[in-house]
Amino acid sequence: MKISDILTPARTLADLNCVSKKRTLESISHWLAEQMPDFNGREVFNALINREKLGSTGFGDGIAIPHCRLSSCTQVTGALIRLSTAVDFDAIDQQPVDLLFVLLVPLEATDEHLQILATLAGSFGQPEYREQLRNAADANAMYQIAIA
């Protein structure tokens, strides 16, 4: 599975202003519910927070890949977000996070879930890729970088 299979321009957001991990996940959850009316913002937020309680999804190098399974999710759905100011995300390297890729997955999509997490880790593991996303002029430019 490729990033272009799960990300759309409408689910790419540049320069979201948040002050904490919790507020970031809450803002993103409600924004996603606006983009996709089948999702309930509170349900998404609760699922993401519950996943974070198992261990931070802070990947390192300023990246987080919050992800969860949802009963209301019928297909793997991604969202790419750049924060205006990095926030503490309890990342493995203790660095604040400014780039997030949120992944919402149907309950039964175990293999797809693991495949896309591996794809995302590979992409975000590349310093040039991260830098391009950070320097992108706007959300559309971020989307183009992400699917290239």
pTM: 0.94
Catalytic annotation on 67? yes
> Are 47 and 115 spatial neighbours (Cβ–Cβ below 8 Å)?
no
pLDDT for residue 78: 96
| pLDDT one-digit tens code per residue, 122-135 | 999 999 999 999 99
Domain residues of the chain, as ranges?
3-147
Nearest-angstrom CA–CA distance, 106 and 117: 14
User: Residue 88 pLDDT > 80, yes or no?
Assistant: yes
Instruction: Indicate which residue of 24, 45, 64, 67 is catalytic.
Output: 67
> Are 24 and 33 spatial neighbours (Cβ–Cβ below 8 Å)?
no
CATH number of 3-147: 3.40.930.10
